[in-house]
A and B are shown apart, each in its own frame.
Chain A
């Protein structure tokens, strides 16, 4: 029993964080939003770090790491509001393909030449797929109503689809929900940081607005929500990695907790920014909109709450102090 990340895990996450902070700042989001002009070097950098092969077995040229490692990196992708399909391709698609024994295309995924769009009945549309387009509130999220099967494309953009998974494929649903939850805690962290930085520099009544308890207490409440959502996400990742029968319940718990933390933080962050927060100029909106999108993707809050409810009130999950890791 040891609920700590290894030094290696933390170092990798920090490396990814630094890389994204250096190459994928808000100016990249703005440029993409303005003209869709994608810098292929960003994706290539992720590929060069081995992230596309993070969950690919070593025998197929990947790093052979696990879902906890991937969840940590997914949180970093959320923190950076990453506009590349790394999480879907490498942290949802790959483990699903591996579990299905569909290992043929893994080499291309590792090499970064194949990106994956995911279709599942829980989602009414596909992110980064090809097909009739829908417009998301998240300007960097490309949605389509349906996808073409096995459409090979080269970067930039979408992508090879997995095809529609079997109806009710819980494994794919769990992977998608888990990695959404991980991104949401990263997004929430980033929104809280943006709000805190603004509260330090914006002065009113002769002092930084962050000195006022009215703001401090709201931002502290976000911190509570985020810090108590994170261990739920990590626990859920480990439960899925360990193949626990209850993994789905814990992933649903993680999705609810991460969604609530991100939604609270988004609303508090815009409030902290005042009228500035209501503009397109302040970066915050990219993170808020990604949060709103992920909150509904891979199962709504109501869906996941119901899964928890069915297990807890339904009695299939043992509860009580002695069942912390049931």
Chain B
């Protein structure tokens, strides 16, 4: 165990800090969940790419910098220190990208990774279906082989970014006689393909980020299949591991929120309850704990280890931490909590953040499912329900 940064790592931190200070938009962008905000965020992805900061851990050949996970964490810390915007392409760079790196052919890496790192192609996920939410193995959307194409028919829903994004990925049933986890294939598709209809869904906050996708005999080339036909479940589980276990929510995000919460407490100290004060301390402590754990996970992966079912612990922890920090902020704000914009015209980021935080324990696999996974795979308790 060695918990100090090398001079090279410190120099790298200084380099990112200087770039971020010069380039991060001074005013917060409009929310990513609407056309205007989406366009602003995509423009930011391209600015990041112009500095070659799109995805620092990827090999240079695929638009990255070939850096290790500690450098990635330093990048993320500086990113959130500077108040960097949400990443429009997070489904691509944090979920699909690592999955392609692990399962993709060389041709697929060449074709998909660089445009992803450069923000030229923005990705949506397409996991859930109306009948397959927490129970993802109940997927019924079909991809039927026809020559060198799959013909996709079915429906996906809650597809993040799908209202505006360029491409999507998900798993589809390629073996019509298969059940549950078998006979599924991981397929990448152009969201502008003929036969795809997007129906944006208005979310709790009133804006539109995710969408329903209807597939009506959509033809997708076979080379868009990731790993082998029928391998979809295993590939999807690896993607979920990246999502829950490491990349989707780096600690800097929560440490930045905890710091803002400390500042908010100072502003409201006179009227705050002792319980709120303790909740603020808990926020700082939990965000730090999350950071230490992430450094440990990164070190483990760098030493050749893999992310296993403990990714579920991670997902439970960050999602409930985020909700609790924002709940505390809403309490501190009191009567001001309901305002969408404060008296000075600034957006009430705490309200937006609180509403968004309510989705955390639901997306990327509900926390009830994560607790089942924890109990069954980490603790070894008996399984229930359909396997």
> Which residues of A approach B to under 8 Å, CB–CB?
1-6, 68, 192, 196, 199-200, 207-208, 210-213, 215-217, 219-221, 223-224, 227-229, 231-232, 234-235, 238-239, 242, 253, 256-257, 305, 308-309, 312-313, 319-325
Contacts and interface: CB of A to CB of B under 8 A. Distances in A.
Interface string B54-73: 00000000000000001000
9 contacts: A200-B380, A210-B375, A211-B383, A220-B379, A224-B317, A312-B284, A319-B259, A324-B288, A325-B3
Given A229-B289, A321-B76, A324-B255, A238 B381 contact: no
Interface in B284-312: 284-286, 288-293, 295-296, 298-300, 303, 310
Interface in B64-122: 70, 76-78, 80-81
Given A3-B3, A231-B289, A322-B78, A219 B255 contact: no
B289 A324 contact: no
B37 to A, nearest CB: 23
B292 A231 contact: yes
B300 A210 contact: no
Interface string B357-385: 00000000000101110111011111110
A319 B81 contact: no
Given A319-B262, A321-B78, A1 B9 contact: yes
A4 B284 contact: no
A239 B3 CA distance: 8
B129 to A, nearest CB: 23
A321 B368 contact: no
B359 to A, nearest CB: 19
What's the dominant secondary structure at chain B's contact region?
helix
Contact of A324 (B291, B370, B374): B291
Contacts of A210: 375, 381-382
B22 interface: no
A128 B374 CA distance: 39
A231 B285 CA distance: 12
Nearest to A252: B285
Interface of B: 1-6, 9, 13, 17, 70, 76-78, 80-81, 251-253, 255-256, 258-259, 262, 265-266, 277-278, 280-281, 284-286, 288-293, 295-296, 298-300, 303, 310, 313, 316-317, 368, 370-372, 374-376, 378-384
A196 B289 contact: no
A219 B81 CA distance: 35
A6 B2 CA distance: 10
B293 A1 contact: no
B296 A4 contact: yes
Contacts of A5: 1
B78 to A, nearest CB: 6
Contacts of A208: 381-382
Contact of B289 (A211, A228, A312): A228
Contacts of B252: 321
B206 to A, nearest CB: 30
A224 B374 contact: yes
A212 to B, nearest CB: 8
Contacts of A319: 255, 258-259, 262, 284
